[in-house]
Amino acid sequence: MSAINRRDLLAGSAAGLLACSPALGAAPKATSQGPGAYRTKLGDFQVTALYDGTWFLKIDDSLVRNASDADVNKALAAAFLPPNILPISFTILLINTGSKLVLIDAGTAGQVADTAGVMMANLAAAGVAPAAIDSVVISHFHPDHIDGLKTKDGDKVFANAEILVPEQEWTYWMDDGEMSKAPDRIKVYFRNARRIFGDIGKEVRRFKPGAEVAPGITSIPAFGHTPGHCAFAIASRNQSMLVMSDAVRNPYLFARHPDWQPLFDMDGPLAVKTRRQMLDRAASDRMLVEAYHFPFPASGHIVRSGKGYELIPVEWQPL
């Protein structure tokens, strides 16, 4: 081909491309995000954060027992969030230890909010079948952490998995005497715990907080949010991650204001003590942290800031 012919051809191709380009602008817009699965290498382990969705909870001045509506809205505004709506994001962890697949918590199964319940789709996108899960470790018995264990028809979602729960959580939530004493708002959680665990009680293994729940995964007592609420430390080789569960919820409210006592914390003062201990440890030891209700992928580092703490989110990175 002569030089002039090649140039004509290239010019023709460019003209062709230009002629086509308006069609790209007319392509239909996507109606959903891509898969919410984010992987982190942790020593020999692989930790995958699985997004389950976000509940946009309308709030009023009853949300925080010891802060005013105005102060809460000021904190939301400081995080560029609209007033009177608390975004509650849900992120489940999948840990591949090399020999075991372990889930920490089980997601909402779409039963908590219409805008949540996509964890199973994201597990599939991560290439893992529910039947391949070896263990599901539960942090506490609030519905957003246990509902994903069962289908709406009451079948087990993770057919081959051992289910591990904190001993104190079981003792409290499965006790009929405690249920009869509880206010109606909390009675709902007692009934839900029976729906999930009632017929599989014999299969559920109860662990003492502090116990190793899977190779390299150790539970940490973090009481206050609920009577037996647990956090976890995941460690492999010289790397570790502090999984704070619900000890710290939305970071822009409760890391920045660790003394605030949200209604979700059953024992407000104890939850504050636990929250401060956990944030202090994370900041002092410069640990990678994860928390169930942090914005996806729900992990980062904690630094001290003013009277509270700040989350420095992880940056998306290749494996």
Q: How far is the CB of 242 from Zn ion (least distance, A)?
A: 17
Q: How far is the CB of 298 from Zn ion (least distance, A)?
A: 12
C-alpha span between 92 and 60 (Å, rounded) = 28
CA end-to-end span of the chain? 45
Interface with Zn ion by CB under 5 A: which residues?
142, 144, 246
Beta-carbon contacts of residue 260 (< 8 Å; ≥ 6 apart): 64, 66, 67, 253, 254
**Cβ-count burial of 209 within 10 angstroms (0-12 exposed, 13-18 middle, 19+ buried)?**
buried
- Minimum CB distance to Zn ion smaller for 144 or for 147: 144
Q: For the chain, how big is the Rg over CA atoms in Å?
A: 23
Q: Which two tokens stand for residue 138?
A: 């539960």
- Minimum CB distance to Zn ion smaller for 47 or for 244: 244
- Minimum CB distance to Zn ion smaller for 46 or for 226: 226
Q: Please report, as a single letter, which amino acid is at residue 288.
A: L
Q: How far is the CB of 140 from Zn ion (least distance, A)?
A: 8
Q: How far is the CB of 24 from Zn ion (least distance, A)?
A: 42
Instruction: State the virtual CA torsion across 49, 53, 259, 227 in degrees, nearest 10.
Output: -80
**Other residues' Cβ atoms within 10 Å of the Cβ of residue 89:** 22
C-alpha span between 289 and 216 (Å, rounded) = 16
Q: How far is the CB of 142 from Zn ion (least distance, A)?
A: 5
- Minimum CB distance to Zn ion smaller for 108 or for 236: 108
- Minimum CB distance to Zn ion smaller for 97 or for 265: 265
CA 309 to chain centre: 19
Q: How far is the CB of 216 from Zn ion (least distance, A)?
A: 24
Determine which helix (DSSP H) or strand (DSSP E) holds 282, and give its type and residue range: helix 268-284
- Minimum CB distance to Zn ion smaller for 142 or for 256: 142
